[in-house]
Every structure is written in C-alpha cells, then in structure tokens.
Structure 1
Amino acid sequence: METIDTASICKALGDANRLKIVQTLSGCEKCACVILEALNISQPTLSHHMKILRDCGLVNVRKAGKWCYYSLNCDTLRAFQQFIAALDCRPVESECSGPACG
C-alpha cells in the first residue's frame, strides 16, 4: 500500500470547494476551465485549492501548452479508501469501570 499523509488528505477534503473538485474529477481528467465553471470561483482561488489537492497527493496535473488538465491520483485515493475501510466502527463494550464512564 502506498504511504499517504492521511491528515493532509483529511484537511484537504475538509473544504467544500475541494470536495466538489474531487467529485468533478471523478471518472475523467478535466481542464481547469471546466472546474472553474462547475464551482463558479475565480482562477486564483482554483489555483489555491488545486495546490492543496496536489500537495496531499489526491490530484495530478498535466500541462499542455497554456492549459492545465487535472485528474485524481488513483493510487493515493485507493490508499485513503483502504485507510477508511480499515476503521472499525462496530459498537464496542467499554472496559472502563471508572465513575466517569457511566
């Protein structure tokens, strides 16, 4: 499994615009202009969000001339999915018997 910075990914995904960017990139590469239209934000704001998503490894960028094309980094995304899937959310009986545990 690829080593990922889980905290950085969670922080990156903690912003509604970045979540929408990731959803927009699901399934295919997109030009920055398409992402801008989908989010209705300024180009500098998009650049800021894309830098954060690239820095945590969730997004790849491909430059073609003056255009930037973004896609999800599937290796990082799969590693993050595995991290989430490994969390145990079953109810657990408390072993605590102190007065604060009820």
Structure 2
Amino acid sequence: MEKTTVDIERAANVLKLLGDKTRLTIIGLLKANECCVCEFVEILQMSQPAISQHLRKLRDAGLVKEERRGHWIFYKLNDTNDIYPLVSEVLEHIPDQTEKLEALEKSGKRIQCN
C-alpha cells in the first residue's frame, strides 16, 4: 500500500480537532458504525446543539460524511478523504468505542430516531 502524505498545516488542524475528547470519541464511535445525532447525545450525555457543533467541525474538516434520512442525519467516517489514513492511524491507538454502542442498544435506545 502506498503511503500518502498531507500538508503539515492540514495534519496539524486535523490532529487539533482530534485533540478534543468529545470529537475523538465521536470519531471512535464512527470507526465501525454510522450514528445519528440522537445516539451521540445519549452516549456522551451532551445537548444536541453541542453535539451538532462538534459534528459540524468534523464535517467541515472532511473527516465525516452525513446522510439525511427523512428528518434525521446519520454520520459516518469519510474514508475517501486524503486525510483518512492519518485518522485511521490515530484510531488504532485509542480504546475501541463499540461497547458504548452495544450498551445503548441493550438499553433500547440505539437509533431511536427511526
């Protein structure tokens, strides 16, 4: 696999974004799943506007993609972005966030926005 490089300024901005615990957790949750804002609200115990601000920053940086389904917007990692290999490498060094989604599902609150 060919190694790609990105501009140092861009890499610094992405790493700064991921330096925030909430945004890093969001990216970790999206590693293997897509999620709706309501799921992030429940998992992170934060307000919807606060979560939306974090997601906007991640989207503006090209780290996540959004897909509207009816009234709801679902988010997933943007694996087509040239910065994705850097994000993927960071995710290899943080704890797996899957258990948080599994707990949400067990409580019956996973994808409550359908």
Match of 1:62 in 2: 67
Query: Normalised by the size of structure 1, how large is the TM-score?
Result: 0.70
Among 38, 42, 46, the alignment partner of 1:37 is 42
Q: What is the TM-score with the length of structure 2 in the denominator?
A: 0.63
Shift in alpha-carbon separation, 1:54–1:82, aligned structure 2, 3 A = closer
Structure 2 CA distance for partners of 1:82 and 1:37, relative to 1, 3 Å: closer
Amino acid at match of 2:76: S
Deviation for aligned residue 1:3:
5.4
Aligned length: 84
Question: Which deviates further from its counterpart, 72-81 or 39-48?
Answer: 72-81
Aligned CA-pair RMSD: 2.4
CA distance in 2, matches of 1:73, 1:2: 17
Q: Which has the larger radius of gyration?
A: 1
Rounded to whole Å, the distance in 2 between the matches of 1:40 and 1:2 is 36
Provide the C-alpha distance between the structure 1 equivalents of 2:5 and 2:80, rounded to a whole number of angstroms: 7
Query: Closer, same or farther in 2 for the Cα pair 1:52/1:19, shift >3 Å?
Result: same
CA contact (8 A) 1:2 1:75 kept: no
Q: CA deviation at 1:14?
A: 1.0
Identical counterparts, % of pairs: 36
Unaligned runs of 5+ residues in structure 2 are 91-114
Please list every run of at least 4 consecutive aligned residues from structure 1 whose deviation after the TM superposition is greater than 2 angstroms: 1-5, 75-79, 81-84
